[in-house]
Amino acid sequence: MSTDPETPDAPDGLDHHDEESEADDEAANDTSMHDVEDDEGAADGEVEGDGEGEADAAAERTMSTNGRTYAVSDEPEGYSVFDNPPNLAEMRQRLFSLEHPIELPVADWQAYFPFVDNIWRKMRTTDSQPENVAATVDYYACRLRRGATPKVHTPRPTPEGKQQRKKRVREEKTCAMTMKVVYNHGPIETCTISKATDGVMRHSHDLDYVDGTKRNTGIMDTARREAAKAYLPASIFWKMWEEPEKMRAAGGKFMKMSDVRNVQYAWRQGHQQVVLKAHKGFNQQRAPRQPPVPPPPPKPQFQPSMQPGVFGRLEPVKPNTRNEPTTAVHWDTLQYPHHARGFLESYIPDPKLTAVRTRPHVTLTWASSLDGRISQIPGVPTAVSGPETKAMTHYLRSRHDAILIGVSTAIADDPALNCRLANPAGYGGLGWEFQPRPIIVDPHARLRIHPGMKVLKAATERRGKAPWVIVAPGALLHPMAVSTLKAHGGEYLMINDYHPAHGGLNWEGIFHVLFREGIKSVMVEGGGVVLSELLKMHRSHLIDSIILTIAPTFFGKAGVMVSPDPAFDPTGRPIATRLRNVRWQPMGDADVVMCGHMTVDQPPITNGMLPGIEEYSRTAPGIPNVQQQPQQPRPQTAGQQPPPGPPPPQAQPQPSSQTPQNEAHASAVNAPVATPQPGAPASSAPVPPSASSDAQP
């Protein structure tokens, strides 16, 4: 006979019968139920207003970030989002391992069970009468238990344009651990928790594995309570990690921002007009998506060789050179040896300077022909350089946080925009979390987003990340494109500063937004419009380095050129954008790589005369030197009248900023008539300033 004991039933839709399907009991605490992975600034900061938010208006203050409004709650000092039972971390471990029987009041068991319902799943309830004492026994099994004849999983149909949800595969982790809870009726309701079988049975996994696989109801209810109070999901996640000990004790070690969003999803459907608020002290810029973890220890790297020459064309190898590690690599990866990387170190992001920078390190890199073209015909992919340069490009990708291209390049080339550098660490040498983030500049949303794109395929196969697409405020975003991009982990980023008649998007604003999103270095690979815009003189302060590969070929006038518009100083003189710290490096059989840092050629401020003419006008005979004070008298010959000279210094006009030709003409007019000098022929005439410089006085 079955009864209904006072057993804590987790509010997750569990079916308390034998061998039920796990598809039902994962409904409430599912960590990826809804596609609500919006940008934190867009989703969290939506302007919402409802009567429910007006009641607390006196206790809140409104703040605005990036044009979006949210309220800041004046919560009491020491406010905590957690309501954990005492000694929760210890009790979770004891209820997991069950090394010894545990006797608890029923009320305490009901308080602890929501924090371990991701470990145990109720199977059945029976009645027993040992020694004429009525008792109720509940049997639980580990959630990783698999039956003898498991049901075949039938995936739900996937809507068009969405990525099929990948359920975590757990066949390699099966556990036969069982637990029983015996309820003892009496003046004080107690229960005894122990193993259901012999004492040698243990879990085949640890507690962290279960916490990483499924969230427990207790930690999700903690976030759900704050979500029902109209707090921002980012603020809830930040506030929970303000108390890391309680967070880990409740089983939230592996909790993500998406878990908080999914918890709030159902509440927000009925409260779409409520003004979301933030906890006191919440960082306006962004709460971290993931809990802070210590950085992994650095992997041993080979020191770059000082040997001249580089990959593809090396000088004779020295006897003490190091051997490269030999490991099996994927067929699609690229090889770029360590000794070929040394010449790039001065031009790539320095991790030591990341903490002090206020904008991302921006590197422009592209391959060009001798006539400055990057392709033969617009819209047609063209191989410019050799395979060695391609491997170098993927090494540069591994040293940057993001890869930026224009929409025309994305449409023409359909690139994967990932790092495929071979390394013992695995495919591409980088794990998925260390792959660079693709960024596509598409102001008018011209790019057609579909699952067949190489960049989305790479994201699906965990060989790269989904792109962020930068659009202008007036872009028409198709709902299918938005859902497809979000389903793969991508985002649309809207940059408000857009002026089509004055250069389009504000690049300084783009880099500022990316830096705020955690992008500390950007590698700009093209295309021609993007590179030409960033090479303009007034944007040179945004560029840190340039790495250009030059191939010995000509593409002709029909090709796509990379060249900035000319710039002029206030006087109309053209200004050149130069590179400093330039280094040329051969690459492969015929290519050459040029590296340099950006600088602007600032001409010296002069009065308009060329330096040579100005110097001659000061020292030539017969020309008064107006800069010498006082003016020395000219030598006179006895009995000879002095020739008519220029007016006194106080009446002489000051030099003007006229052209060199006018200056020379004026000097010739003001020159005295013939004044023979000692040792000079009587018939010699004064030499005008435009005469040859080898004339002697």
CA distance 659 to 605: 14
Structure letter (DSSP) for residue 680:
S
Largest Cα separation within the chain, whole Å, is: 154
Which residues touch 264 (CB under 8 Å, ≥6 apart)? 223, 224, 227, 233, 236
Does 430 or 463 have the greater pLDDT score?
463
Least confident of 176-185, 259-268, 327-336: 327-336
Cα(502)–Cα(539) distance, rounded to whole angstroms?
13
pLDDT surpassing 50 at residue 20: no
- Give the pLDDT band of residue 527 (cuts 50, 70, 90): confident
Torsion sign over Cα 476, 478, 479, 483: negative
The whole-number pLDDT of residue 588 equals 84
Work out the average pLDDT over 133-162. 76
d(CA 100, CA 103): 10
CB-based burial label for 642 (10 Å; 0-12, 13-18, 19+): exposed
Is the pLDDT at 59 greater than 60? The verdict is no
Q: How confident is the model at residue 456 (pLDDT cuts 50, 70, 90)?
A: very high
Identity of the highest mean pLDDT range in 557-561, 624-628, 692-696? 557-561
Whether residue 41 has pLDDT greater than 70: no
Question: What pLDDT does residue 601 have?
Answer: 53
pLDDT attached to residue 42: 39
Q: How far apart are CA 551 and CA 546, in angstroms?
A: 16
- Band the pLDDT of 167: cuts 50, 70, 90: low
Task: Tell me what pLDDT residue 629 has.
Answer: 46
More confident residue, 671 or 117: 117
Confidence band of 301 (pLDDT split at 50, 70, 90):
very low
For the chain, give the mean pLDDT: 74
Model confidence at 455, pLDDT cuts 50, 70, 90, reads: very high
For CA atoms 533, 535, 536, 540, give the dihedral sign: positive
Phi/psi for 179 (5° steps) reads -140, 150
Query: Is pLDDT above 60 for 696?
Result: no
**What is the chain's Cα-based Rg?**
38
- Looking at 11-25, 328-342, 548-562, which range is the least confident one? 11-25
Domains, the chain: 22-148+168-278 (no CATH), 357-600 (3.40.430.10)
By the 8 A CB rule, do 282 and 61 touch?
no
Asked if the model's pLDDT at residue 496 lies above 50, the reply is yes
Q: What is the mean pLDDT of residues 620-639?
A: 49
> Which residues, in sequence order, are CB contacts of 249 under 8 Å at separation 6+?
84, 88, 89, 92
Assess contact for 535 and 544: CB atoms under 8 A. Answer: no
What is the predicted pLDDT for the residue at 423?
Answer: 63
Mean pLDDT within 310-314: 44
- Band (136; pLDDT cuts 50, 70, 90): confident
pLDDT at 85: 93
Most confident of 131-135, 481-485, 638-642: 481-485
Q: Looking at residue 293, what is its pLDDT?
A: 53
Residues, the chain: 697
Q: Which of 10-19, 154-163, 194-203, 445-454 has the lowest mean pLDDT?
A: 10-19
Q: What is the pLDDT of residues 95-117, one digit of tens each?
A: 999 988 999 899 999 999 999 99
Q: For 410-419, what is the mean pLDDT?
A: 90
Higher pLDDT, 414 or 674: 414
Q: Whole-model pTM? A: 0.44
Strands (E), 244-297: 277-278
CA 111 to chain centre: 42
Can you tell me the distance from the alpha carbon of 346 to that of 368, in angstroms, rounded to the nearest whole number? 22
Q: How far is CA 436 from CA 392, 433, 521, 524, in A?
A: 15, 8, 10, 12
C-beta contacts of 247-251 below 8 A and 24+ residues apart: 247/82, 247/219, 247/291, 248/89, 249/84, 249/88, 249/89, 249/92, 250/82, 250/84, 250/88, 250/115, 250/216, 250/218, 250/219, 250/222, 251/92, 251/115, 251/118, 251/211, 251/215, 251/216, 251/218, 251/219
Higher pLDDT residue, 208 or 1?
A: 208
Q: Is 532 exposed, middle or buried (0-12, 13-18, 19+ CB in 10 A)?
A: middle
Please give the distance of CA 17 from its chain centroid, rounded to a whole number: 48
User: From CA 45, how far away is CA 375, in angstroms rounded?
Assistant: 43
- pLDDT single digits (tens) 545-593: 999 999 998 988 888 888 888 888 888 888 888 888 999 999 888 899 9
The CB-side HSE value for 357 (13 A sphere, CA atoms) comes to: 20
Per-residue model confidence (pLDDT) at position 558: 84
Q: Is 693's pLDDT higher than 50? A: no
What's the pLDDT band for 606 if we cut at 50, 70, 90? low
Q: Is 473 left (phi over 0), alpha (psi -120 to 50) or beta?
A: alpha
Q: pLDDT category, 217, cuts 50, 70, 90? A: very high
Q: Which helix (H) or strand (E) holds 270?
A: helix 257-270
Question: With pLDDT > 70 as the criterion, what percentage of the chain qualifies?
Answer: 63
**Predicted confidence (pLDDT) at residue 440 exceeds the cutoff of 70:** yes
415 pLDDT more than 70 = yes
Mean pLDDT computed over 432-438: 84
Of the two residues 419 and 56, the one the predictor is more confident about is 419
Mean pLDDT on 326-355: 78
Helix axes 611-619 and 660-670, enclosed angle (nearest 10): 10
What was the pLDDT predicted at 139? 93
- Give me the sign of the Cα torsion angle 611, 613, 618, 619: positive
Kindly state the tokens that stand for 564.
């900035």
Q: What is the pLDDT of residue 380?
A: 76
Assess whether pLDDT exceeds 90 at residue 434: no
| Cross-strand bridge partners of residue 441 | 406, 470
Comparing 673 with 588, which gets the higher pLDDT? 588
Backbone angles phi, psi at 223, to 5 degrees: -70, -35
DSSP letter at 423 equals: B
Backbone angles phi, psi at 363, to 5 degrees: -120, 125
Q: Which residues of 268-304 are buried (b: 16+ CB within 10 A; e: fewer)?
A: beebeebbbbbbeebebebbeeebeeeeeeeeeeeee
**What integer pLDDT is reported at residue 318 of this predicted model?**
42
Nearest 10 degrees: Cα torsion 490, 213, 152, 27: -80
Asked if residues 176 and 201 have their Cβ atoms less than 8 Å apart, the reply is: yes
